[in-house]
Amino acid sequence: MEEVTVFQYNLVYNALSFTMATFAAATLFFWLQRSQVGPNYKLALTITGLVTFIAAYHYLRMYQSWTESFEVVNGAIELTGQAYNRAYRYVDWFLTVPLLVIELILVMRLSQSETIKRSVLLGGAAALMILLGYPGEIQDEVGLSRFIWGALSMIPFLYIVYALVSGLSKSISDQPQVVRGLISMARWVIVGSWLFYPVVYFLPFVIPMDSGAAYATVEVGYTIADIIAKAVFGVLIYVIAMRKAEAEGTAATTTAAAR
């Protein structure tokens, strides 16, 4: 990596700390509010909180790794020689990305067999996508290996997009009217926020990405994509669960509208 300015260093530092706080708060929110959604949606909220919990842990580790990689000497940033550990992101995604698609499937409350089938297929594809991307990420240079692993990783990615956009349409139209729009929005939040990751992965083939500015942009970009894919998506799952539980009469609250 080339030189990182104090501004870039602080930007990433603050972004990592901010995101850790966001995920920790989101986890507590999902698990506290889990008591309110009625028994059929508790599993969905348990997993929604697990995703942000795992992410909070990895953002804490990334924050530590970032501060250990650099030191401020006379107002300039110097490398300590300890490399920033990018593997934390892949380890995090390997755990959380399959769980994210399972959240969406669970909150839809499909039949048991369909829930299992879709969870295994979509969750398995999500895990495979991360597994195939990682060997390309750790190549020393931006070359054929990175490209091939990335291209292989795109196969499960495109399968997931296809399954969410096309395969889920029938099931969504069977959902109660009150949540149909929200569930459709949730799958587009997945597709939209996930698109950021392959863009970053393939960007080095187009423009050199070893400047401090590019490095900081990628870190902040991943961070924003993670917040949308996990915390914002999780709040959507929570709202869907509440609305469905209310419609089914199993929510703990009485709706203000029903008064």
Cα 214 from Cα 237, distance rounded (Å):
33
Across the strands, what pairs with 78?
Answer: 71
Measured from the CB of residue 10, what is the shortest distance to a second copy in angstroms?
7
Does 177 contact a second copy by CB under 8 A? no
Cα 156 from Cα 131, distance rounded (Å):
11
Q: Which of residues 129-168 bind a second copy (CB under 8 A)?
A: none
Q: CA angle at residue 55 from 65 to 58, to 5 degrees?
A: 20
Measured from the CB of residue 74, what is the shortest distance to a second copy in angstroms?
7
Q: Which stretch binds a second copy (CB under 8 A): 9-17, 141-149, 185-193, 208-216?
A: 9-17
Measured from the CB of residue 109, what is the shortest distance to a second copy in angstroms?
6
Measured from the CB of residue 215, what is the shortest distance to a second copy in angstroms?
19
Q: Which of residues 41-70 bind a second copy (CB under 8 A)?
A: 42-43, 46-47, 49-50, 53-54, 57-58, 61
Q: Can you say whether residue 109 is alpha, beta or left, with left for phi > 0 and alpha for psi between -120 and 50 degrees?
A: left
The full DSSP string for 203-239 is GGGTS---SHHHHHHHHHHHHHHHIIIIIIHHHHHHH
Under 8 Å between Cβ of 208 and 176 = no
Of the residues 21, 151, 158, 191, which one makes contact with a second copy according to CB under 8 A: 21
Q: Which of residues 198-257 bind a second copy (CB under 8 A)?
A: 252-257
The full DSSP string for 33-83 is HGGGS-GGGHHHHHHHHHHHHHHHHHHHHHHHHHHHHEEEETTEEEE-SPP
Structure tokens at 112: 């048991």
Q: Which stretch binds a second copy (CB under 8 A): 109-117, 159-167, 203-211, 214-222?
A: 109-117
Q: Which stretches of the chain bind a second copy, using CB under 8 A?
A: 10, 13-14, 17-18, 21-22, 24-25, 28-29, 31-36, 39-40, 42-43, 46-47, 49-50, 53-54, 57-58, 61, 72-75, 81-83, 85, 87-88, 91-92, 94-95, 109-113, 115, 252-257
